[in-house]
Amino acid sequence: MKTQSLASKIRSDFSILSLTPHGKPLIYFDSAATTQKPRVVLDALSKFYASEYGTVHRAIYQLAAESTEKYNHVREKVAHFIGAPSSNQIVFTQGTTDAINLVAQSYGSLLSESDEIILSEMEHHSNIVPWQLLAEQRKLILRFIPINDKAELDLSAFEKLLSPKTKLVSIGHISNATGTINPIETIIEKAHGFGAKVLVDAAQSAAHLTFNVAALDVDFLAFSGHKAYGPTGIGCLYGKQELLEAMPPIQGGGDMIERVTLEKTTYQAPPLRFEAGTPPIAQVVGLGAAIDYLQSLDLREVHAWEQELLVYATEKLQALEGLKIIGTAEKKSAIISFIIDGVHSLDIATLLDLEGIAIRSGHHCCQPLMDRFGVSGTCRISFAPFNTMEEIDRFVEALESALSVLKGL
């Protein structure tokens, strides 16, 4: 396939792929948890700390001025990357979790008793727990979209949940546990029909799909740098300007203030209103390098290659006796979760690790989804554009060997 050349072209960008854990060449199949970092991101971080580092928004000396310019430029890069009309609509956060909590505690403070929020059964804990906390604080009602046996949202049930009481729908673009790609365009349109706002958790989609927040007409969108080839500790929240301006700050400190007296404080306009304290300057620089790297690729080509890997791996796994894939949606990202009769997911992951193969096992921070399918956890493999068919072949061979050992115990 033409797209197969993508993997060979970019593998050298990721120095970690040359590692040999337990004396075996590394196969990294856990990009849904966190992505490896290309050399350009590592170089940008190293260069910034070594010869460019200065504080931002606080000083006029050259290092500080240049760091501030670089920092602000990344905000513009993010806006362009996701199609935001203005960089003032981009709030830097610690990650997707932090961004969702920000919306819950800030926008959520504008909600009233008995208002309703709609989530789904497939959400990551980070898109459930903040809303549970808010519901307890403000006596709100949470409702959940059920999923079918393929791990797809039941859209007819969603329509029945919507009402004038619905104030917010918060939904993952892609399920981190099953790879299901949710129809966010339809969800946004139907929610807006009832006057509800929509938050999209794009943690799993930012590095894999192209989207435009303005064209989607989404109200909030969040993603994490570390799942998009950038550093940990940095993420972004997009919000419509009028919503951000109406939201109160939830943390106090430097950068978010306009004027402080002993009696009263006034606050900056968004996005600085939500960025208290010294920001994660180097992480923002690293995020900028990661966005540059992503934009040097053709995300449509990335998606096509990852889909080829998904189809190939699915066919290989379905041929194994006793293996069941959890999540068979018609539209999926390059994520496969599976269970095997009589074998614990942790045991499989442990034996695969001895072969240099990194996969995820457990509930993937999606315990309600696991409950829906009657399992305690699954094995999960997830792909990046540097993965290959040959790695899948080696994985399946190692899996068969592990199963022969485990079933023989």
The domain segmentation of the chain, as residue ranges, is 4-30+299-407, 42-296
CA dihedral 375, 169, 229, 286 (to 10 degrees): -140
Residue 257 is inside which H or E element, if any? strand 257-260
Average pLDDT over residues 244-249: 98
CA quadruple 13, 18, 19, 22: dihedral sign = positive
How far CA 252 is from CA of 257, 276, 360, in Å, comes to 8, 6, 38
CATH 3.40.50.1820 fits 42-296, yes or no: no
pLDDT at residue 386 greater than cutoff 50: yes
Q: Is the pLDDT of residue 298 over 50?
A: yes
Q: What's the pLDDT score for residue 255?
A: 87
Residues 6+ apart with CB under 8 A from 30: 358, 359, 360, 380, 381, 382
The pLDDT score that the predictor gives to residue 1 is 45
CB 137 within 8 A of CB 101: no
Give the side-chain half-sphere CA count within 13 A for 104. Answer: 27
pTM above 0.85, yes or no: yes
Output the average pLDDT for the chain: 97
Q: Does domain 4-30+299-407 have CATH number 3.90.1150.10?
A: yes
Q: Tokens 């069941």 label which residue?
A: 324
Look at residues 255, 197, 122, 207 and name the one whose alpha carbon lies nearest to residue 383: 207
Kindly indicate the confidence band of residue 192, based on its pLDDT and cuts at 50, 70 and 90. Answer: very high
**DSSP state for residue 26 in the 8-state scheme:** -
Report d(CA 144, CA 127) in Å as an integer. 12
Quick one: pLDDT band at residue 3, thresholds 50, 70, 90? low
- More confident position, 283 or 4: 283
pLDDT band at 254 (very low <50, low <70, confident <90, very high): confident
Catalytic residue numbers, as ranges: 365
Tens of pLDDT, residue by residue over 304-319, are 999 999 999 999 999 9
